[in-house]
Structures are given as C-alpha cells and as structure tokens.
Amino acid sequence: MKKISLDWLKRRRYHFLIWAIFMAYETMVIGFAYKNFTNPLVYVAHYAVNIALFYVNAIWFLPWALEAKQYRFLKLFIGFPILLYAYIWISYVVDWSLVELQITTIKEIKMTNKFVLQAIWRFVYFTGFSTGYYLVNRYINERNKAAEKEKEALIRRHEAEAALSTAQNAFLKAQINPHFLFNSLDFVYHSIDNDSERAAEAILLLSRMMRYAVKSDETHDFIYLEDEIEQVENLLYLHQLRKTEELPVQLICAFEVRTVKFIPLVLLTLVENVLKHGDLSNEMDEAAVMVYIDKGTLHIETDNMAGLNQFGESSHIGLANIRKRLEFAYGPVSFEHQLLKNGRFIVHLAIPLESLTVHDQPKAFSANNDRQLSHEGVGLREIVG
C-alpha cells in the first residue's frame, strides 16, 4: 500500500509542483493588490474546490462528452450548465461553512449577483485551463497510441520479413540443382555389373554428400568450411569416377580457412556450377577453385573456361540464389562474376572475417592436414591445404 502511494505521488509530482506555484502566485498577487491576507484555511478550501473542478472537467466531463461520437453537442449543452450550477452551490456552501466556523473575516455570506458573477468567472477561468490540459493530454495520448501502433506494425513487418526471408532461404537452398545426383545415380545403375567396386565407392561418396546436405539444415545455418571442402572433394572425385578420365580442376584451400564458419552449400554450389556449366574438355585449360584469407577477408574464387551453357539462364539463376543466401546471412556482400575476353568465367566472393561467425576454439590441425586426396590418382590435379 505504501509503495502504491509513493508511486502515485511520484507520477503526479509535477501536478503538485505546478499547483503549488500557481496558488503561491495568486495568493501573493491578490494579497498585495488588496493589502489583505486571510486565514490559510480559506485559501486551502477555495483552491480545493477549484482544483476539483479542474480535474472533474478534464478527466471525467470532457471525455464523457467528447470521446463518444453521438450527442457530443447535446452533452456539452446540457453538461456545462449543470457543472456550473454545481460549482456555484459548492462554492457557496464552502464560503458559508467558513463563515459559520469563523475562519474567515467575512461576517455574512449571501447568494448575490456579485457572488454568482465571481463564481462564473472562476468557473470559466479554471475550466478554460482544464480544457486546454485535456486537449494537450489527449493529443499526447493519441500520438503515443499512433506511435505504439506504428511500432507494433513495424515489429509485425519485421517478423513477417524475417519469416519470409527464412522461408525464401530454405527455398533457395532447396533449389540447388539435383542434376548431379541424377547423373550419379544413373552412373551407379550402369556400373553395377561392369565395375562393382567403383560403383560401391560412388554410392558411399554420394551417401556422404546427401548426409551432409541433410545435416547442413540442422546446424543453425553455419558449418566449418573444412566440412564443405571435404564434400567438394567428394563431388570432384565422383565426377572423375563418372568420366573415367582426369578432371582438370584445382582445388586450392588455405590452411586457415578450415576453422571459419560459413553458411553451407555455397562453395559446393559454386564448384557444381563449374562442373555443370564450364568447359572442362581441354586438360590445358584447367579450372581453379580457390579459398583463402587475405587482409582480414575471406575470398572464394572459381576460374574456368566458359561452356556454351554457362551463358544460359540456369547458370545465372544459381549464382543469383547464392547471392540471396549470402545477403540473407551477412547483408550486402561483394559477389561478382564476369566473362573475360579470353573466354574464362570468373566468380569472386569476398566477405570480411568480422562479418562471419568464427568458432571460439578452432579445430586442431597439423601441418599434415595439408594433404592431397587419397584418390588423387584418378585424376584430381591438385589439392593444397
């Protein structure tokens, strides 16, 4: 109870302060003007009535009369005379009580025209201030309500945008072209009788890649680049198994990129784009996939001879999907692709490390981790740790 009282007083402290200043001002002005100061209880009684009128008008009467759309003018037309009549009689009763109790120096109080006119003047005076207070307070409340509604609308819009972005991100991840899966399954089907050992190896690698793709949705959208690099190695090896020839692709990964956390299926999709849309028919025109850190920035680059279908819409859709996923995760990023005059197609991604999520305790790697793949003999040219 005490806490409630203190909170109530704290919220209204400015009201008390303003009324105290106002009463002191009026008392001093009138007292010095007429050279007459009376009993303090007289001031207390009169100001109690006037302050009551102020808040009754601002908090009860005006909201009742104006905030309902129906019968506003009728309520004002009837309500104000009633309020004035009540104020005059209450003022008269207060003055009569002060006379009867001999608190004031006035010997007799009567309901004269002078008394009524003085009461009307004070009524107009205080209801004028009260109406101004009501209008200002109403304006502030309406503005706060509008701001609150705008804030709620903004929150709902952000929530909707976040939900849309999440759904869009999931959709974009699901758009990763399944052609390699179909081709690999077709290869496995036709290799069962001819080369069961290679087919079994292909099935094993394919199952690892499918498991990785599923697992990437369970890691809160961030994985170690080491894990994705391993899947890129599997992807390249599977292509070698299917083609039964050397694959002119270099995968160059700096040692320090392995512990960087990144959104999944970006590097894998870029490599898939090289394999699907690039021209890998000439061993002398090697493709390169490079992942490295330079000046506090993670760089991912692909460089390959452009195939005829690398100019098609599907290639650019895949790159556009990657850009959208990157912007969803990191905001605006540097992601460029261009066709050079010599026929090579370059893709370059650069993101500052401070924008990435980096694991606090990096994985432990030794110099021996900078190794070539165990299946390098099939034709994968170079993998540098």
DSSP notation for 33-89: HHT----HHHHHHHHHHHHHHHHIIIIIIHHHHHSSSTTHHHHHHHHHHHHHHHHHH
Question: Are 162 and 80 found together in one domain?
Answer: yes
Question: Are 187 and 157 found together in one domain?
Answer: no
Low-confidence ranges of the chain (pLDDT < 50): 176-177, 358-385
Determine the pLDDT at residue 165.
60
Query: Could you tell me which residues are beta bridge partners of residue 261?
Result: 224
DSSP per-residue letters across 293-321: EETTEEEEEEEEEBPGGGGSHHHHHHHHH
Task: Tell me which amino acid residue 340 is.
Answer: L
Question: Are 162 and 193 found together in one domain?
Answer: no
DSSP annotation of 360 reads: S
Question: Are 211 and 278 found together in one domain?
Answer: yes
3-class secondary structure, 240? helix
Classify residue 206: in a domain, yes or no: yes
Determine the pLDDT at residue 213.
66
Question: Are 320 and 212 found together in one domain?
Answer: yes
Domain range for 114: 38-166
Question: Are 281 and 155 found together in one domain?
Answer: no
User: What b/e readout covers 15-53, taking b as 16+ CB neighbours within 10 angstroms?
Assistant: eeeeeeeebeeeeeeeeeeeeeebeeebbebbbebbbeb
The answer to whether residues 228 and 322 touch, using CB atoms and an 8 Å cutoff, is no
Classify residue 145: in a domain, yes or no: yes
Determine the pLDDT at residue 311.
61
Question: Are 130 and 278 found together in one domain?
Answer: no
Classify residue 45: in a domain, yes or no: yes
Task: Tell me which amino acid residue 185 is.
Answer: L
Determine the pLDDT at residue 368.
42
Strands in 287-294's sheet, in edge-to-edge order, are 334-339, 344-352, 297-305, 287-294, 249-253, 382-384
Question: Are 244 and 154 found together in one domain?
Answer: no
Determine the pLDDT at residue 178.
54
Question: Are 153 and 187 found together in one domain?
Answer: no
Instruction: Show which of 166, 198, 221 is a domain's final residue.
Output: 166
Domain count, the chain: 2
**Global confidence as pTM:** 0.49
Determine the pLDDT at residue 385.
36
Residue keyed to tokens 């001031």: 43
Instruction: Show which of 124, 142, 166 is a domain's final residue.
Output: 166
Classify residue 30: in a domain, yes or no: no
Question: Are 227 and 304 found together in one domain?
Answer: yes
CATH of the domain at 304: 3.30.565.10
Instruction: Show which of 166, 193, 220 is a domain's final residue.
Output: 166
Determine the pLDDT at residue 277.
87
> Please, what is the end-to-end C-alpha distance for the chain in angstroms?
72
